[in-house]
Homo-oligomer: A and B are copies of this chain.
Amino acid sequence: MAYGYGNRIAYVDLTRRKVKIRKPRESLLKEYIGGKGLAAKLLYDMLPPRIDPLSPANILVFAVGPLTGTGAPASARGVIATKSPATGTFNDSNGGGFFTSYMKIAGFDAIVFMGRAEKPTYIYVDHDGKFHFRDASQYWGWGVFATEEALREEVGDKDAKVAAIGPAGENLVKIAGVVVDKHHIHARGGVGAVMGSKNLKAVVISADPKNPRFELADPDGFNEYNRWYIKEKIFSEEYAWAKNGGTPSIVEWSNNVGVFPTRNFQDGVFEEWEEISADVLKRFRTSKAACYRCSIACRNLVKVKDPRWGEFHIDGPEYETIAMVGGSAGVGDFKAIVSLNALLDDMGMDSISAGNIVGYVMELYEKGYLTKKDLNGVEAKFGDPEAEYELIKMMAHRIGFGDIMAEGVKGIAAYVGGDAYKFAIETKGLEYPAYDPRGSVSMALAYATADRGACHLRAWSIAEEAFGELDPFTPEGKAEVVIRLQDLNTIKWSMVWCDFIAINYEEMAKYLKLATGWDMTVEDLRWRGERIWNLIRLFNVREGFTRKDDYVPYRILNEPLKSGPPAGKVLGREKFEKMLDDYYRLRGWDKNGIPRKGKLRSLRLTKEARKLEYPA
């Protein structure tokens, strides 16, 4: 029995309606830690290459880590991982709230869903940890909010935690997420579509936080260190941003440095940014809130009333949502963004991709690629939140052109044809988040090399570049920064920490030691981060991903921004390829982006690499 873990992995076969509970070997946990790392190992071993992500041959992995549910700050996290239907890559999506903490409290390190239920089904894990397959036909088509409440009632536990999909997941929309606790969404890469393809409407867990089904190696030491850490670190000036505006504070920073995606990345400064900044949010804020036992408490509850869409008293939008649902669609209207955010949560959709897609469709419309008739009568003009609302609904239900939008900007570009791809802003099929790399070039490398397509969380290098001290326009030295952050974050998403904690290897090693009893040096942890990152690269290489897939869109490479510090500058192919060459060299990968044998040997991945030569 390993300390810090539930020591149980549940394999739920939805086709045969069977559940197997297995005790993971301690070596598996020690090598892969949990969360992202554990999910990567399970996916690498269980999935042969080139299976259809939306077929019953795919698996969906919920995984937590040794820190999840412990009361450490920013540890109310877990991942949902799968082979992504949006990108075809490995994809892990992080989420907070309470659900994954309860999964850990119930004693599960991972739950692996396999096959496909014959009809809409939800899984209930009761207080004894028993799995029940239950009919969800009556909830099919329901939004997330109503589903969650109804299921809590149906299982008769007001404190039960729910992970559910909305209509977007049911309709296999490629940007559908899995929503936990109403407003926390494992958003990116279509994990909700995979859940929908399995006819799995929801997973409901009952658990008792007072009697967690895991033990810490040194509970007293853990509590003592944790109290000290919270007091000295979390309650310090470093986290003032969280207590204050939260992530919406970034709206101002991004506009200052000219990286705020405006009207589908046509500009980097939004003239209406002050209408959707943290200061505006504060005017609507009723209180702060926190995920399970988190002392950072970054959440902002807001109350908004708007004659167009009604009244909402919900979690306020994060920076990414404000920027992509707002700026990228040219919408400078805070109340509208809250309403659109609520719609996206209820439908179960990723707000980053949704905003990017809407911005793209608006540009296609304004440039004449699409007509009002093509768009079911919607005049998709930048700046019109009502048009945006209609487009999102069409997409969630795959109505009319929404069926094309549901495939993401890459799918839209394929359908529209011609030169439409030139302003489709994606890498590997995942839409860009809200930092334009033309104003912070390391982000181009971060997006191009992120394991799941354009993701800002694998290496948020802008913090050291446009928001920090480094020259944001030179490629020099950027590969080092991106690699350092990718390896560090791989460990963060494996333990599992939230991205909002600025924790270093020393502190993570200390927490890990107190939770699990394992002595790990900083280098032990960094090595594991690098190892997991390389295992995931092998997963993607096995799926055929190479240098050609580590690209940056045409617009980002070739078209200059109009405003702010990056005005007139393009990233340019040469600069980008220099960073990519540096990156591969420092990673120990060849020119084509394939890990070299020596690197694999040093990471003890030689056995895993043999699986590249499938199936012999």
Q: Which residues of A contact B (CB under 8 A)?
A: 15-16, 46-48, 50-52, 54-57, 85, 87-88, 114-116, 118, 174, 374, 399-401, 403-404, 407, 410-415, 417, 421-422, 424, 428-429, 542-546, 548-549, 551-554, 557-558, 573, 612-616
Residues from chain B with a CB closer than 8 A to the CB of A415 are 15, 56-57, 114-115
> Are B429 and A46 interface neighbours, CB within 8 A?
no
Of the listed residues A87, A374, A407, A412, the one surrounded by the most CB atoms of chain B closer than 10 A to its CB is A407
Residues from chain B with a CB closer than 8 A to the CB of A542 are 548
Q: Known pairs A15-B415, A422-B615, A554-B615; list 9 more (Cβ under 8 Å).
A: A15-B403, A48-B413, A48-B421, A55-B174, A424-B615, A544-B545, A544-B549, A548-B613, A558-B616
Q: Could you list 26 examples of A-B contacts with CB < 8 Å? A: A15-B400, A15-B401, A50-B88, A50-B410, A50-B428, A51-B410, A52-B407, A55-B174, A56-B407, A56-B411, A57-B412, A115-B403, A115-B415, A116-B403, A118-B400, A118-B403, A421-B615, A424-B615, A544-B544, A544-B545, A548-B613, A548-B614, A551-B614, A551-B615, A554-B615, A557-B616
Per a CB cutoff under 8 Å, which of B48, B88, B407 touches A414? B48
Instruction: State whether A615 and B553 are in contact (beta carbons under 8 Å apart), knowing that A48-B413, A57-B411, A415-B115 are contacts in the complex.
Output: yes
> Are B47 and A414 interface neighbours, CB within 8 A?
yes
> Are B16 and A374 interface neighbours, CB within 8 A?
yes
> How far apart are the CA atoms of A544 and B542 in the complex, in Å?
9
Q: Smallest distance from the beta carbon of A394 to chain B beta carbons, Å?
A: 11
Residues from chain B with a CB closer than 8 A to the CB of A399 are 118
> Are A616 and B546 interface neighbours, CB within 8 A?
no
Of the listed residues A114, A415, A543, A557, the one surrounded by the most CB atoms of chain B closer than 10 A to its CB is A415
Per a CB cutoff under 8 Å, which of B46, B401, B429 touches A50? B429
Write the chain B residue with the least CB distance to A558.
Answer: B616
Q: Smallest distance from the beta carbon of A442 to chain B beta carbons, Å?
A: 18
Write the chain B residue with the least CB distance to A58.
Answer: B414
Residues from chain B with a CB closer than 8 A to the CB of A87 are 50
> How far apart are the CA atoms of A254 and B615 in the complex, in Å?
27
> How far apart are the CA atoms of A422 and B48 in the complex, in Å?
12
Instruction: State whether A48 and B548 are in contact (beta carbons under 8 Å apart), knowing that A615-B554, A616-B557 are contacts in the complex.
Output: no
Write the chain B residue with the least CB distance to A14.
Answer: B403
Write the chain B residue with the least CB distance to A51.
Answer: B414
Residues from chain B with a CB closer than 8 A to the CB of A616 are 551-554, 557-558, 573
Residues from chain B with a CB closer than 8 A to the CB of A114 are 415
> How far apart are the CA atoms of A47 and B411 in the complex, in Å?
10
Q: Smallest distance from the beta carbon of A483 to chain B beta carbons, Å?
A: 23
Per a CB cutoff under 8 Å, which of B57, B421, B428 touches A404? B57
> How far apart are the CA atoms of A116 and B411 in the complex, in Å?
12
> How far apart are the CA atoms of A328 and B583 in the complex, in Å?
50
Residues from chain B with a CB closer than 8 A to the CB of A554 are 615-616
> Are B56 and A403 interface neighbours, CB within 8 A?
yes
Residues from chain B with a CB closer than 8 A to the CB of A612 are 548
Per a CB cutoff under 8 Å, which of B410, B546, B551 touches A544? B546
Of the listed residues A57, A116, A573, the one surrounded by the most CB atoms of chain B closer than 10 A to its CB is A57
> How far apart are the CA atoms of A558 and B615 in the complex, in Å?
12
Write the chain B residue with the least CB distance to A545.
Answer: B544
> How far apart are the CA atoms of A63 and B66 in the complex, in Å?
58
Residues from chain B with a CB closer than 8 A to the CB of A573 are 616
Residues from chain B with a CB closer than 8 A to the CB of A403 are 15, 56, 115-116, 118
Residues from chain B with a CB closer than 8 A to the CB of A54 are 52, 54
> How far apart are the CA atoms of A613 and B580 in the complex, in Å?
14
Residues from chain B with a CB closer than 8 A to the CB of A424 are 615
Q: Smallest distance from the beta carbon of A377 to chain B beta carbons, Å?
A: 13
Q: Smallest distance from the beta carbon of A549 to chain B beta carbons, Å?
A: 8
Q: Smallest distance from the beta carbon of A264 to chain B beta carbons, Å?
A: 15
Of the listed residues A54, A399, A411, A544, the one surrounded by the most CB atoms of chain B closer than 10 A to its CB is A544
Write the chain B residue with the least CB distance to A55.
Answer: B407
> How far apart are the CA atoms of A46 and B114 in the complex, in Å?
35
> How far apart are the CA atoms of A118 and B407 in the complex, in Å?
15
> Are B429 and A57 interface neighbours, CB within 8 A?
no
